[in-house]
């Protein structure tokens, strides 16, 4: 078996053009001398043809490119398939609706070479195809950035842009119970943090996420917030941090009610202010639903 330093793991589902853009950005990487890299693409579409290439003309110079299939429709199974096939000492994760800067991998490798961290996570900046609703500003889609080297919690640990040690997966994996709701990455990394893993931020490893017009809608933001709240509650329960479901449900429901009232009160001040309060309210409502044992399907057939 050929020795590999970094395995770049990509799970994809019916995003042929997005995957092509991602692979093109990987082909432009300025890979440090001597760094051995492979790219693993796992297709999670049961209807896909195994004989099809991952993208027309796709090639990543200097990297072995392997295409695998995971016919079980579940993002956690697809990610685990990539991890199981990986040969690298480090695993890099990036999504199929993203592209990465040419210095992305080099920035991560410089940090990994310091040897004092189990994983590094970087910024994902929104990239808009076009503005669907003029008054909906970028703040609804931006995530916080941190100084490089800052230790991070589970809130900033996700597979959208990450480099983690392969050894973390010896006794851990992505939980298929989150395969349709999403949040399998947050659940995994928060569990690893609870067991003593050390993660930090690498602000120089930049990825860009395409935000299509279909996501630039108040309805999508509200739905996403509800899903996020539900997943958060499920993870908290799984980690044993919810001593009483009744009190947790009551607290979240009350928070949702207060924020809904605030959203109505803020309407005269402008739709942006009202929507921000509504999104937070739906996050609390999702937590209440999650504490009650409810689930939410983000990824349907």
**Tens place of pLDDT for every residue, the chain, 301 residues?**
568 999 999 999 889 999 999 999 999 999 999 999 999 999 998 887 655 654 444 556 678 899 999 999 999 999 999 999 999 999 999 999 999 999 999 999 999 988 789 999 999 999 997 888 888 888 899 999 999 999 998 888 989 999 999 999 998 999 999 988 888 999 999 999 999 999 999 999 999 999 998 899 999 999 999 999 999 999 998 888 888 989 999 999 999 999 999 999 999 999 999 999 999 999 999 999 999 988 777 655 5
Structure pTM?
Answer: 0.90
**Beta strands across the sheet bearing 199-201:** 63-69, 37-43, 4-12, 88-94, 161-165, 119-121, 199-201
The backbone region for 50, taken as left when phi is positive above 0, alpha when psi lies in -120 to 50, beta otherwise, is alpha
Q: Residue 86 has what pLDDT?
A: 96
Domain definitions of the chain by residue range: 4-214, 217-291
User: How many angstroms separate the CA atoms of 141 and 133, rounded?
Assistant: 13
Residue ranges of alpha helices (H) inside the chain are 16-27, 75-85, 104-112, 184-194, 218-238, 245-265, 271-291
Q: Which CATH number fits domain 4-214: 3.90.550.10, 2.60.40.740, 3.40.50.2300, 3.40.630.30?
A: 3.90.550.10
Q: Residue 91 has what pLDDT?
A: 97
Task: Give, as one character, the DSSP assignment of residue 171.
Answer: S
Q: Residue 176 has what pLDDT?
A: 93
* Cβ count within 10 A of residue 50: 9
Q: How far is CA 203 from CA 47, 97, 147, 161, 223, in A?
A: 38, 20, 6, 11, 29
The single residue listed with the structure tokens 């809130």 is 155
**Residues 6 or more apart whose Cβ sits within 8 Å of residue 96:** 10, 11, 12, 13, 15, 18, 19, 22
The residues that bridge with 90 in the sheet, in sequence order, are 6, 165
Q: Residue 51 has what pLDDT?
A: 59
Mapped onto helix, strand or coil, the DSSP state of residue 17 is helix
């Amino acid at each position: 078996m050929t020795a590999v330093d970094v395995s770049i793991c990509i799970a994809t589902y019916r995003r042929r053009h997005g995957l092509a853009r991602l692979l093109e950005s990987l082909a432009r990487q300025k890979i440090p001398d001597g760094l051995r890299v492979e790219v693993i693409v796992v297709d999670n579409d049961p209807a896909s043809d195994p004989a099809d290439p991952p993208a027309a003309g796709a090639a990543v110079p200097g990297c072995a490119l392997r295409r695998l299939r995971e016919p079980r429709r579940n993002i956690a199974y697809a990610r685990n398939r990539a991890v199981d096939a990986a040969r690298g000492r480090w695993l890099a994760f990036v999504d199929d609706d993203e592209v990465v800067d040419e210095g992305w991998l080099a920035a991560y490798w410089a940090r990994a070479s310091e040897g004092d961290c189990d994983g590094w996570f970087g910024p994902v900046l929104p990239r808009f195809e076009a503005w669907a609703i003029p008054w909906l500003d970028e703040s609804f889609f931006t995530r916080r950035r941190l100084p490089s080297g800052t230790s991070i919690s589970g809130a900033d640990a996700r597979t959208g842009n990450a480099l983690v040690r392969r050894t973390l997966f010896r006794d851990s994996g992505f939980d298929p119970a989150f395969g349709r709701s999403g949040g399998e990455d947050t659940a995994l990394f928060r569990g690893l943090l609870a067991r003593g893993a050390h993660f930090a931020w690498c602000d120089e490893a930049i990825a860009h996420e395409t935000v299509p017009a279909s996501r630039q809608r108040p309805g999508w933001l509200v739905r996403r917030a509800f899903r996020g709240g539900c997943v958060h509650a499920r993870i908290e329960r799984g980690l044993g941090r919810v001593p009483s479901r009744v009190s947790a449900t009551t607290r979240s429901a009350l928070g949702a009610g207060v924020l809904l009232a605030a959203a109505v009160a803020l309407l005269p001040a402008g739709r942006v202010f009202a929507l921000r309060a509504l999104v937070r309210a739906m996050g609390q409502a999702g937590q209440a639903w999650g504490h009650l044992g409810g689930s939410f399907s983000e990824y349907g057939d």
